[in-house]
Structures are given as C-alpha cells and as structure tokens.
Amino acid sequence: MLAKLEGHKKTIRGIALPSGHDKLYSGSSDGTARIWDGHTGKCLHFTNLGDEAGSLITEGAWVFIGMKNAVKALNIHSDFELNLKGPVGQVYAMIVAGDMLFAGHGASLEGHNGAVSCLAVGDKMLFSGSLDKTITGVLTLCGMNDAETKPVLFCSCNDDSVCLYDLPSSFCERGRIFSKREVRVIERGPKNLFFTGDASGSLTVWKWRQNSQESS
C-alpha cells in the first residue's frame, strides 16, 4: 500500500485516472466527486453533486458520473459539463464502446431482476452483472497484470476482503487484501499502480512489487 486518500464519507462508487492526466477522480454515495493530485494525493477540488454518485468512469477527455435518472459528463480540459438524460433510476455502471455510452441502472436490461452493477464489452458483446445475486457474494471484479506482466483477477467479496487469483490457472488464490469495509471499486492505474475504494469512503493507492507474489 502506498497511500490512503481520505475525504469521502460514504461508499466510493467510482475511481478514474484519465490517460495522460496527472489527476485522479472519484465519486461517492456521499454526493460528492473529488479530484486528487496524482503526485501528492492531496484533494484539489470537490464538487457537491446534489445526489449520490452511483458510478464514475473516464473516456478520452470526459469523466462520466452516474446519477439518479441522468449521467453527468465533465470535460477535464475545459470544465464544461453536460447532463445526459435517459436512464430511469440510479446509474450503477457505465462503459464506453464503439463511440456509445452504455449505462446500467435499475431494471435497465431485460433478464435481470435487480439493478445492473457492472458492465463489460468483449468480442462484440455487452456483458452485465446485477445485484440480483446471480453471483452470490461477489461485489466487483477486475483483471490486470502484476509487475511481472502475469494476469491476475481481483474479486471483491462481502467479507471485507479482495481475493487475488492467478490466471489462467484454475483460480489459484495468491493472496488477499483486507479492508475496513467491503471494497466496491477496483481500478487499474499506470506504472504498476492500482486503486481500491471501500464502503467507508477510503480510497487506497497500491503498487505491485517487483519479483514478488504479493502487492505492496
């Protein structure tokens, strides 16, 4: 662990580090979005969103924040803001693919019985995960490479831990990360960095160690 960035009071719902940018963005259920200095970890700015953020992602020059019945779009270069209407209910997940923004919210895709909590695109298909407990006990998933470029799957569980699995083995567990509360967001970063955000509002910065089987 490199640092803990304190400021949010409730669950962190999204973490984003725009490509080529030195500022980290985060959104929380406490109704705020924060901008952090990527070098010092200091909070440079926070915005009162007026309602809780359900998700936050970045694509190009834009940061998208999932809100209730809308998506807020912020241009990181000009600070220009847009409110994108269309979703019905809280937006819990977003992804950009093929110049389109997909937003997952309560009962947004037929087939789920609960709110859509995560989205992924692969092989020209859109994949979705839901709070209908299709995968019991799993809060979020994230894949990345370690410092030796070996693929690792992160699986956040409802026991306040994140399991790390070596791939493509048969899900051989290589270690765990423990948190005060359940981890709701895991985000990849540059230069062997990754970030986690938990339900207490704590944003943690991690870095893979070289020639090690564990993260530091």
| Tens-place pLDDT, residues 85-142 | 888 888 888 888 777 888 776 544 555 555 666 665 544 455 555 555 544 456 787 8
Identify whether residues 116 and 174 lie together within a single domain.
Answer: no
Domain holding 50: CATH number?
2.130.10.10
Which DSSP category does 188 fall into? E
Identify whether residues 80 and 17 lie together within a single domain.
Answer: yes
Q: Is the pLDDT at 15 greater than 90, yes or no?
A: yes
Identify whether residues 23 and 70 lie together within a single domain.
Answer: yes
CA distance 203 to 26: 8
Q: Flag whether 68 is in a domain.
A: yes
Range of the domain at 98: 1-132
CA distance 166 to 76: 35
Identify whether residues 123 and 140 lie together within a single domain.
Answer: no
Bridge partners, residue 112, by sequence? none
Identify whether residues 120 and 70 lie together within a single domain.
Answer: yes
Identify whether residues 83 and 108 lie together within a single domain.
Answer: yes
Lookup: tokens for 45: 């700015």
Identify whether residues 20 and 92 lie together within a single domain.
Answer: yes
Which residues, 6 or more positions from 192, have their beta carbon under 8 angstroms from its beta carbon? 146, 147, 207, 208
What mean pLDDT comes out for the span 27-49? 94
Total domains in the chain come to 2
Identify whether residues 128 and 46 lie together within a single domain.
Answer: yes
pLDDT at residue 212, as a whole number? 47
pLDDT at residue 41, as a whole number? 92
**pLDDT band for position 207 (50/70/90)?**
very high
Identify whether residues 15 and 108 lie together within a single domain.
Answer: yes
